[in-house]
Structure 1
C-alpha cells in the first residue's frame, strides 16, 4: 500500500480523458445575448452590406433590447419599430443563435405567411447557420435521417420550427419555450378557422415556466395594431440620446428635425429640446453611443421598446427627409397612402385614420330661415323613407340647379306596422303638397322606401301598388365597389321592382355636398323652423358616420363606421341618401333644361315645375 507521501502514476491517456470531461462539464461563461453576438455571430454576404463579425456598437440601441431578450427573468419583449433598424438580424436571428448555442430550447419562429417563413429560412436563417462557426455543426443538413427541412431544424437540446400565421396546422404541434413573432401587425385575424394565430402559438408555451415571447413589428393602423396594443401594456421604453452640446437626454422625434424645404440635399440638423442648439446628424449619432432607453411605465412586467429611423445607423437623415417630402406632396394632392407608409416605416408609429367626417354642430349652426315652406329655387321634391318597427321616418328634400338641395321636412309617423292605418298615413303624407311663397304647390317627384328591415314584403307590396307614382322599394348594400344605382330586379316574393343602392357611394357623395360652404351647386340648406323637424338630433344622426381606411384579409379597404359607438341613430344619414337616390333614379329632365335656360326663362319654368308629381 503506497504511503501518503508517495505519488501514483496516472496514464497520460487517462489525464487527457479527464481533461475532456472537465471541459464538457464546465459551465459555459456567463454571456448576455449581445455579448454572445459580438463574440460568435457572423453576418453573411447575402443579407448584409458589411459581411463579417457582428458588432453591436454599430447600432448601440440594439444592445439593451437583445439583453432583455436573453434575460431569463423577462418573459415578454415587445419591439415596435421603424423598418431600417436591423430588427431581424438583431432580435430574431441573434436570438435563434443564442438559444441554439448557449441555452438550447425548442423555438417557434412565426412569420405572417408560410411563404414568408420559407423565404426567411432560406435567405436569412440558412446563411447564418452556414457562416457562424458556433452554429455550423449543430444542424445536420446532410443525413436523410436528421428530420431537418426548410421549416424545421433540429439541434442538440432543441429545435426551430418556422410557421406562417395563416397556417393553422403549423400552430398546433409540439410545445415550445421561445416564441419569436415577426411582423405581427401583418398577421391575419385568424389562422384559418382556428382563431388568433398569436394566441394559438402562445398556448404552446404553457408547459415552460421560463417561457420567452418576443414580438417584433412595424406598426400599421392605430386602433388595429397588435404591436401597439402590446407596447402600450409594456414598460414603453424610448431611446434617448444626449444632446451633443448640453448633454440633455431626449428621444429623437420628427418635430426636432430641421431641413431646407427648397434644398432637400442640404445637411439636416436636429434642435435640442432644452438648449435649442442645432447639431448635425453626425454629432447626434456619435452621441448615441451613450444613449439609453427610458421607460415610461417601468413597473410593467413586459419590456417594451420603441425605435424610429432617426436613431438608425443604417439610414441617413437626408433620405428620411426626402421620403417625407414625397409623401407630403402626395398628401396635399389627396392621397394619404404615401404618408401612411412613411409614418409606419420611418417613425415606427401607427397611422391614425383621419376619416372623412363632419361635425354636427357646424351644420346645425348653418340652419336658415326660409321665406316659405319650399324656397323659390327648388325645382323638384324627392323623399326617403326608413322603416322601423313602430314608425316610419321620412325626409322630404328639395332640389335645384346643380344639385343644390334644401331640407323641407323631417317627419316621424308612428303606428303599428302590422296594421293598415300607419301605411295609409304614410301614403297620405307622400301625396301631400308643400307650398312656395306664391302659393304654388309642390309634390314629391320620387320616393325611395327601405325594404331591408323586418317588413320587407309589406314594403314591396306598398311600393308595387304605387310604382307609377315613383314610390320605389330599395335595399342598401355596402362596399366601396358597389355602384350607387343599379337597374331594378323583381327577384322577390311580391315581384315588385327593387333597386339595390350602393350606400357607401351615396354617403361619400352626400358628405362631399355637406362639406360645401358656398351657396350654389351642391350646397345643402337646412330650415330653422321648428316644425320642419331639423333639430340637434337630426344633425347628430346625419353626421353619425365617418369614412375610414382599414385592412381586411391583408388588403386595404375603405368603409363607413360610426363615429361614436354609443350613438347609433343614423336614420337621417340613410334618409338623405335615399332621397338623393330617388332624384338620381327619377332623373328629371327639368333640372338639366333649367341649368341651360336664360335667366328670364328659368323663372317661368320654376312656376311650371310646381305641379310635378
Structure 2
C-alpha cells in the first residue's frame, strides 16, 4: 500500500505526512557522514550573500560530490551538473577542507579574467571571511609571515592561485597538487597559441602523486563539449531517487516530467515502475534519500564523473523546470540554454533542424482549387537575385497552417526598369493570380514582399510602382540573430520606400520544425506536388550549427549548397503573413477579408512614407 500525500493538508498533517514518507523510504537513508562532510558542515559558514547563509548543510547529492573529492582512488572528479544544483558550494567547500586539513599548492581556473575576479570578490573572499577556521589561516604561512592578494592566497603549507583560460602564463607556471577548473565548456579554445587550456592546466599536476582535479561545467554543444567528453570517460554516476509509492529507485528524466500545457504548476514526475505521479513535496523528501549510482560499464581508472539535472535539485522545482521549457521551446538559442543549464546535457541542433529533401518531396500533395475554406489570405513572396526573381505563392490559414501553391523563376537581369524584365513578369503574375475556396470566396493576392538586398534602387522603384496600382507590397531584408524581432519597420530604401527587417533565424527555426511535422494540423506546411525537385532541395539546404566567435558559441544557419531561394521566400512570406495578421485585428472566428488586409497594410505604408519624408 503506497503513501498518498494530500497537497491541501494542514501544516500539522503535512508534517505527519513527511514523517510517514521518510519512514517508508528509510531503507534508502544515506550512510553516516564521512570525515570531509563532517568537517565541512561543522566548520564552514556561508556568507550573507549566499542564497542560504549560515552553517553549511549539504544536500544528499552535494554530499556525494564532496565525498568523491576525498576518495583516495579518485584522481579526477567530473561534475556535469545543472546550474541550480549547488555545484559551486561543493567545489568551494572541498577547497576549504584542503586548506585546513591537507594543504598544498592549488589553482582555480575560470573561463575569463572577469569571471575569475568576480569569483574571488563575490564568492571566495566572502566565504573565507565568514568561516573562522579558514579566516585565521589565509594570509599566514608565507616567508614573511603573510601574503594574500586577489589572485593569490597563502596559508600554512600551501597557496591557491586564481587564473583564467585565456592566460597561458598562469596555466604554465609552477606545479600544483589541487586543480579546480570551473565551467570548462566556456573556456577559450586555446590559451593564446599554446593549446587547450584544460590540458595545459592538468599538466601542472603531473609531479604530485596525490593530486586532485575537479572538472566542472554545464555542457554545451554535442561535438565540442569538454565536460561531456570527460563525463563519459568516468564512472557516469547519476543521482537516483526512490519513488514514494513503490520504492523503486529511478534516475529522474525530463521525459518523466508531465504537466498540462500552459500550466507549469501542474508539473509532476511519473514513476516508470508504478505510474505514480510524484508531487513537488514528495520529490523534496525523496531527493534527500537518494543516492549516486554508477552507470558506466567500463570507466577509465581514477575518474569519477557525476551528472544531475534540476529535477533532483532542491534549489529548483518541477514547476520551474516546466516553465523554463515552455518559455524556451520555440527559440533555438533558449532551448539550447535549457538543455545545457537545466538538464545538464548537450544538444545537437544540427539533427533537430536538419531536413531531408527527398522526404519533403515524398510528402508533397496535390494543391488545387478550390482551396480549403480555412485559407484566409494569399501572399506573394519574392527573393531577388542578380539574374532573376524567384517568387512563391503561399496561402495562409488559421492556426498558422500554410499551403505552398507554386514557385516561379522569373529570369532576366534585375538591374532594369521597374516595368521591364523580371519585374514586369512579377507584376503580371500578381495581376492574374486568384484562387477560389471551398466556401465560395475568390481570393486575389492580398499582399506581397520583395527582397531588397540586390539592386535596391530598382526594387524600391518597383515597390513604388506597384503601390500606385493599389497593390500592398513591401520591401524586406533578412537580418541574422535569434534575438531579432520577427519583422519590424526599418529606414527608407534609397529614399523611396520603407524597408522591413525580417528576423530570419527565428523564422527559419520555426519553419524547419513545421516542415518536419508529420500530422496535419496547426502550423503544418503543405507542399504542392507540382513543385520542382530543386525547390525541396532548397528548403532543406540550411542546417543549424554552432561555431565559435572569440571563444563564445554562436548558433547560425549554414547552407550546404549554393541555393536557398525557396527557403527565403517561405521565410519572408511567413513574416508578412504575421505582419498582416497583427495589423488587421479581425474579430474572433471571422476570417480576415482581403479588403481588411489591403486597408491596414496600405495605412501602414502611408504612415511609413510620411515618416520617411
TM-score by length of 1: 0.59
- Determine if the alignment matches structure 1 residue 573 to structure 2 residue 567: yes
| C-alpha RMSD over aligned residues | 6.6
2:160 match: secondary structure: strand
Q: Residue 294 of structure 1: CA displacement?
A: 4.0
What corresponds to 1:385 in structure 2? Answer: 383
- Determine if the alignment matches structure 1 residue 51 to structure 2 residue 48: no
Contact 2:44 2:93 survives alignment (8 Å): no
What corresponds to 1:12 in structure 2? Answer: none
Residues 365 and 237 of structure 1: is their aligned pair in 2 closer, same or farther, counting only changes over 3 Å? Answer: same
- Determine if the alignment matches structure 1 residue 367 to structure 2 residue 372: no
Residues 519 and 37 of structure 1: is their aligned pair in 2 closer, same or farther, counting only changes over 3 Å? Answer: closer
Kindly provide the CA deviation profile for residues 321-374 of structure 1, in whole angstroms up to 9, marking residues without a partner as x.
xx213543675688789999987777655678798999975797463342499x
Contact 2:460 2:497 survives alignment (8 Å): yes
- Using the alignment, how far apart are the partners of 2:521 and 2:61 within structure 1? 61
Contact 2:416 2:458 survives alignment (8 Å): no
Equivalent residues in 2 for 1:366-515, closer than 5 Å: 367-371=365-369, 382-387=380-385, 392=388, 394-397=390-393, 407=404, 409-412=406-409, 426-427=422-423, 429-430=425-426, 432-433=428-429, 435=432, 448-451=450-453, 456=454, 459-460=455-456, 462-463=458-459, 466=462, 468-470=464-466, 475-479=477-481, 480-482=483-485, 483-490=487-494, 499=499, 501-504=501-504, 507=507, 511=511
- Using the alignment, how far apart are the partners of 1:265 and 1:121 within structure 2? 36
Contact 1:405 1:523 survives alignment (8 Å): yes
Kindly provide the CA deviation profile for residues 114-168 of structure 1, in whole angstroms up to 9, marking residues without a partner as x.
223311222223444x325xx8446329999733124321235542112466x75
- Using the alignment, how far apart are the partners of 1:570 and 1:512 within structure 2? 13
Q: Residue 394 of structure 1: CA displacement?
A: 0.8
- Using the alignment, how far apart are the partners of 1:217 and 1:384 within structure 2? 45
Q: Residue 572 of structure 1: CA displacement?
A: 0.8
What corresponds to 1:98 in structure 2? Answer: 98
Q: Residue 181 of structure 1: CA displacement?
A: 1.9
What corresponds to 1:174 in structure 2? Answer: 173
- Using the alignment, how far apart are the partners of 1:489 and 1:401 within structure 2? 31
What corresponds to 1:120 in structure 2? Answer: 123
Deviates most, 399-408 or 78-87: 399-408
What corresponds to 2:146 in structure 1? Answer: 146
Contact 1:78 1:302 survives alignment (8 Å): yes
Residues 383 and 176 of structure 1: is their aligned pair in 2 closer, same or farther, counting only changes over 3 Å? Answer: same
- Using the alignment, how far apart are the partners of 1:256 and 1:120 within structure 2? 35
Contact 2:464 2:497 survives alignment (8 Å): no
Contact 2:140 2:156 survives alignment (8 Å): no
Q: Residue 554 of structure 1: CA displacement?
A: 12
What corresponds to 1:67 in structure 2? Answer: 70
- Using the alignment, how far apart are the partners of 1:56 and 1:519 within structure 2? 46
Contact 2:403 2:525 survives alignment (8 Å): yes
Largest Rg, 1 or 2 = 1
Equivalent residues in 2 for 1:138-537, closer than 5 Å: 139-140=139-140, 146-163=146-163, 168=167, 171=170, 174-177=173-176, 178-184=178-184, 187=186, 199-200=196-197, 202-210=199-207, 212-219=212-219, 226-239=226-239, 251=251, 292-299=293-300, 302-308=303-309, 315=314, 323-325=317-319, 327-328=321-322, 348-349=344-345, 365=363, 367-371=365-369, 382-387=380-385, 392=388, 394-397=390-393, 407=404, 409-412=406-409, 426-427=422-423, 429-430=425-426, 432-433=428-429, 435=432, 448-451=450-453, 456=454, 459-460=455-456, 462-463=458-459, 466=462, 468-470=464-466, 475-479=477-481, 480-482=483-485, 483-490=487-494, 499=499, 501-504=501-504, 507=507, 511=511, 526-528=527-529, 530=530, 534-535=531-532, 537=534
| Aligned residue-pair number | 521
Deviates most, 476-485 or 545-554: 545-554
- Using the alignment, how far apart are the partners of 2:241 and 2:168 within structure 1? 45
- Using the alignment, how far apart are the partners of 1:432 and 1:260 within structure 2? 50
